[in-house]
Amino acid sequence: MAAVEPVPGAPAAVADHGDGRALVVADYHAGIEAGLRYERGVEIDSRAERRRERLRGLLAETDPDRLVVLGDLMHSIGDPGGAERGEVEVLLESLPADLPVTLVKGNHDGDAESWVEGVDVTDGDGVRIGDVGFAHGHTWPSPDVLAADVVCTAHEHPCVRLEDEVGGSRVERVWLRGPAAAEPFAARHDGLDWTAPDLVVFPAFNELSGGTWVNVAGQSFLSPFLPEGLVDGQAYLLDGTRLGTYDRV
């Protein structure tokens, strides 16, 4: 039976997929600072080195035999600029030479397969590795992905807004997890052989990327299968604190 367990205190998980162990991160968004400057006029110093060292530290801590980036390794949707491309290249060069890397293609990854070297880039509907399915979440996962024991998705950047008794509030990244609901996926794929997988929605690795406040009324979900595909999902903080059903936190 496959297991996907978050790394305590980090927006990352270890997936025991039956054939090995993968460290999984989502929504890395390399080069986001340039995007924020261009899109919103916000000036932020580059955190590329901090992101890279945080990922390298997680690899050292968890000692996996594969790295899976669950989509949006890059930030710009089109051809990446020099700083962004440089960040990706330096990141990949800094990883152990014998570590296989899979990029599950997201909506920000453009034609990454044409220039990212030494990385297995999947189609947008995802890939199944052993007993775990991986899809970014900007489009529908393939039937093969949905046949896994656990399906990992991203794209949503789920967050909750927490308020205290005096009116203060803060926003925290969260995991969403629970049994996938069959109806939306079966309606999408005729003749789907439903195996009732668990669905795990990853928080964004990049803390600057914003997200969907899943417990705030009127927030629109980004993934085409949410929220209908995870009706009774639970929310968990990065430190493992269980908050309960995500839309009632």
The predicted-structure confidence for 150-193, as pLDDT tens digits, reads as follows: 999 999 999 998 877 776 778 899 999 999 999 999 999 999 98
pLDDT(78) > 80:
no
pLDDT(1) > 60:
no
Please report which confidence band the pLDDT of residue 54 belongs to, taking 50, 70 and 90 as the band edges: very high
Q: What are the distances in angstroms from CA 73 to CA 68, 69, 139?
A: 10, 7, 16
Measured in degrees and rounded to the nearest 5, phi and psi for residue 144 equal -65, -40
Please report which confidence band the pLDDT of residue 117 belongs to, taking 50, 70 and 90 as the band edges: confident
Percent of the chain with pLDDT over 70: 92
pLDDT for the residue numbered 220: 86
**What structural domains and CATH numbers belong to the chain?**
3-8+11-248 (3.60.21)
Residue 6 DSSP class: E
What burial class does residue 93 get, using C-beta atoms within 10 Å of its C-beta: 0-12 exposed, 13-18 middle, 19+ buried?
Answer: exposed
CA gap 155, 177 in Å, rounded: 14
Determine which helix (DSSP H) or strand (DSSP E) holds 185, and give its type and residue range.
Answer: helix 182-188
- Weakest-pLDDT range from 93-97, 129-133, 210-214, 231-235: 210-214
Please report which confidence band the pLDDT of residue 210 belongs to, taking 50, 70 and 90 as the band edges: confident
Q: Is 56 helix (H, G, I), strand (E, B) or coil?
A: helix
Instruction: Name residues whose C-beta falls within 8 Å of residue 21's C-beta, 6 or more positions apart in sequence.
Output: 14, 15, 62, 63, 64, 65, 66
**How high does pLDDT run on average in the chain?**
89
Q: Is 233 helix (H, G, I), strand (E, B) or coil?
A: coil
